[in-house]
Amino acid sequence: MNDPANRAASGCPMSAASRQFEPFEHRGMYDFLASIREDVPIFHAEQIDYWVVTQRDDIEAIMPDSERFSAAIATQPIFPWPETVGALLKDRDFTNEAVQVACDPPRHTRVKGSATKFLNIRQFMGYEDRLRDLVRGYIEKMKGQETVDLVEAITYEFPAQVVFLLLGVTDFDPRKIKAWGDLRLHMIWGNPDEHDLVQGASDLADFWDYTVELVKARKHAPQDDYPSLLFEIRDGDDEILTENEIRSLVFGLLLAGHETTTNAAGNIILELMRHPDQWKAIVEDPGLAKNAVEEGLRYASSVVAWRRQTKEPVTIGGVDLPAGANLLLSLASANRDPAKFDAPDTFDITRSNAREHMAFGKGLHHCLGAPLARLELRILLEELSAAFPRMELAEDNMVFTRTLSFRGPSRLPVRLNEDR
């Protein structure tokens, strides 16, 4: 019964989970995962041809194991792009490479060693005052309004502005970068039709061209920023970093450096609005904001699933899988696994082990930007709770991003209640 074809075809709980799973639908996702987790540690999702892994212990073992599981699949399109898209990108000299989350050692080790000389907690903490000033600027624009969409007013743009600080950019529209980032998420982790893909490929090439020009400018006129430091580390040696790897690292930061934080901010604030007693607790004790961020990342992660591919035959959850099997690791399920967290479906900003979530991954591919995201999210909660202590949801009919891996509300309407 270990054979996956037999298991999936049988009348066992795995088969029911396979039929019920909706890979691009986030509404009801947590209820579905809670209903199957104990009995179905793994099941096959036929729509996408991935084996979905649901239990914390299995996911925790798989993520850091680069000997048996490859990360190369992490940023490949869920559905292969048509030849027209590949041809367009080739014609436009789109040469982005997998250099961090989607590559394995030894390349990953080499590239990460350079990236962490800038992307580290000591470097990030030096930005705290500037980040707080940015948030306060957005809040000033919100004051005096009765109802505000927090995504539109602050959480959409703010993380992109932070990325600009890292890149030394002062003259570019953050919404253009956000639009490019949204596009890439949809093309890789969504289910677009061919028309959307062809249009998207053209815009993606524009995104790459912008990155190429930015990196070229830093090569010839270095500043105190990320691409300039990468060139300093490279020192003309391709065995340390190639120029295209630098372009690819910057291109990746222009996506990963803000999309997940935008979604995380929306998710955490939404849950605090749904639990007004916990919002009030932060108002009364801003020191709780730090752990509220961790609980928000656990309870409503902005990255709900990540991908791996087996390098050799393995057994997961009692199912034998061959080399080359695609795995979807449900981080959302791992973050609410009762084997790790007491009352996992309860949102509790005082939870003692909230920080043990897997929202940033685990092992060698643990997110380099995690300290920066934590800093941004903490500052957002501190400043919003101070400015709008009686803020509350204006409506709770949320629409979430329709992608396989990324989850966040597309809008978050609140009443600021400044005069009450």
| Mean pLDDT value across residues 210-218 | 95
- Domain-located, residue 333: yes
- Type and span of the H or E element at 306: strand 305-310
Q: What whole-number distance in Å separates Cα of residue 248 and Cα of residue 101?
A: 12
Structural domain contains residue 420? no
Rounded CA-CA distance 348/292 in Å is: 8
Q: Which residue has the higher pLDDT, 192 or 4?
A: 192
**Is residue 353 a part of any domain in this protein?**
yes
Give the pLDDT of residue 85: 92
**337 pLDDT exceeds 70?**
yes
Which range (189-203, 230-244, 317-331) has the least confidence? 189-203
**Region 363-367 average pLDDT:** 88
Contacts of 166 (CB under 8 A, 6+ apart): 118, 127, 225, 226, 253, 257
In this structure, what CATH number is given to the domain that contains residue 180?
A: 1.10.630.10
SS3 of residue 358 by DSSP: coil
Confidence of residue 420 (pLDDT cuts 50, 70, 90): low
Task: Determine the Cα–Cα distance for residues 278 and 95; give it in Å rounded to an integer.
Answer: 47
pTM of the model: 0.93
CA neighbor of 305 nearest in space, from 88, 35, 32: 32
Helices (H), 42-106: 56-62, 83-91
- Has residue 123 been placed in a domain? yes
- Are 72 and 324 spatial neighbours (Cβ–Cβ below 8 Å)? no
Q: How far apart are CA 91 and CA 85, in angstroms?
A: 10
Strand pairing partners for 11?
A: none
Average pLDDT over residues 191-217: 90
pLDDT category, 106, cuts 50, 70, 90?
very high
Task: Give the residue from 169, 179, 126, 175 showing the smallest Cα distance to 372.
Answer: 126
Percentage of the residues of the chain whose pLDDT score is greater than 70: 97
For 363, the domain range is 4-415
What pLDDT, on the 0 to 100 scale, is given for residue 227? 95
What is the model's pLDDT at position 180?
A: 81
Q: What is the per-residue pLDDT across 255-275, written as a single tens digit (0 to 9) for each?
A: 777 888 999 999 999 999 999
- Run of H or E residues at 314: strand 314-316
From the list 75, 113, 369, the residue with the least C-alpha distance to 241 is 113
The pLDDT value given to residue 8: 46
User: What per-residue confidence (pLDDT) applies to 171?
Assistant: 81
The whole-number pLDDT of residue 154 equals 96
Where does residue 392 fall: left (phi above 0), alpha (psi -120 to 50 degrees), or beta otherwise? beta
What is residue 5's predicted lDDT score, i.e. its pLDDT?
46
Is 195 a residue whose pLDDT tops 70? yes
- What does the pLDDT read at residue 193? 87
Is the per-residue pLDDT at 10 higher than 60?
no
User: Is 106 within a domain?
Assistant: yes
How many CB atoms are located within 10 Å of the residue 342 CB?
10
Q: How many domains does the chain have?
A: 1
| Helix/strand/coil for 328 | strand
Report the distance separating Cα 60 and Cα 38, nearest Å: 16
CA distance linking residue 331 with residue 345, whole number of Å: 14
Question: Does the pLDDT value for residue 26 go beyond 70?
Answer: yes
Q: Average model confidence (pLDDT) for the chain?
A: 92
Span 51-104, pLDDT tens digits: 999 999 999 999 999 999 999 999 999 999 999 999 999 999 999 998 888 889
